[in-house]
Amino acid sequence: MTPAGHRSAGRAVILGAASAALFLGGGVGSGQAQEARPEPGTTVEWDLGSVRSGWCLHFLMPPAASGADLPKGVTPDQAASRNGLHPAVAALVQSEAQYGEWTPADLCTIVADRLAVGDRVFERGDGGEPLIVVWWAVAGVGSEGQVTAARYFGTNSTGLKQQMKASLLDVERVKAKLEALPDAGEPRLHLELEGANLYFDGHITPDSVPTHRDHRWAWVAPGPRNVNWEAEATASPEASGGVAGALRIQGKRRLAAILSDSPIRIFGPGFTGGSFTVRLRR
């Protein structure tokens, strides 16, 4: 199915079930005082339980837009030299060389029943909505080679945002909710962030043969006083598979413009059930 908002007949807009590496990104804001600087060895862990759904949207960013808000020492990577691209993105870059200079990126979402940070447990987002976490990650190059770099991390829970700030992690407050649709079994996911309104009508389609393997990721995120955090994430889902549905994009600024201009937008893979853990180290 082709998402609404497709602007050019010559560009590929795909929803698919092909497997690809998921890249996660988390934003960490600058400290305002000397005491806000995390000490070496600081670790912060987020545990998401009873995951309802998780997926990433893969796309390409133009060179002029790909360098903003990246961690210190990280520059955008080009798709032509990037390892582990989604197969559809790799095929596009191979067939249309002009997109080799663009930067691969991912916009990811998890809907869960709870998230624990230390001794605090959050079970709902603002307004009684399910707890939703969103991140935007960009392919980058650091001093030791290719990395996945944080650009944005947000949640629809004000309490969780405040708890993260107390842990020296500045998380954005994103408007995110599930909207019931007439005569539809699955609710619509509505995200409002970075100048974009995104509407996703769809669901995870688990593989016919269930798999119960962990998925692991790593990225780098900016921290206080230009000190980067290293992050690792692990998902232990009950089922993995493709993402079926349609995406609609509204807006003309920042993320909306980037997504609309991307020559390809493709989901996959998705996962449901189980747990998701993120550990950040200073």
Which pLDDT score is estimated for 32? 36
Q: For residues 223 and 72, give the distance between their C-alpha atoms in angstroms, rounded to a whole number.
A: 9
Instruction: Assess if CATH 2.40.128 describes domain 14-32+49-281.
Output: no
Which pLDDT score is estimated for 255? 96
Which pLDDT score is estimated for 233? 83
Place of tokens 């500045």: 170
Which pLDDT score is estimated for 4? 35
Q: For residues 142 and 88, give the distance between their C-alpha atoms in angstroms, rounded to a whole number.
A: 25
Per-residue pLDDT tens for 186-209?
889 999 999 999 999 988 888 766
Q: For residues 282 and 182, give the distance between their C-alpha atoms in angstroms, rounded to a whole number.
A: 47
Which pLDDT score is estimated for 184? 65
CA nearest to 81, candidates 72, 73, 90: 90
CA nearest to 198, candidates 99, 47, 55, 33: 55
Domain ranges of the chain: 14-32+49-281
Which pLDDT score is estimated for 219? 84
Q: Which residues of the chain have pLDDT under 70?
A: 1-40, 167-168, 184, 208-212, 223-224
Structure tokens at 252: 């003309």
SS3 state at 77? coil
CA nearest to 171, candidates 61, 280, 10, 9: 280
Residues 6+ apart with CB under 8 A from 280: 26, 28, 43, 44, 45, 169, 221, 229, 230, 231
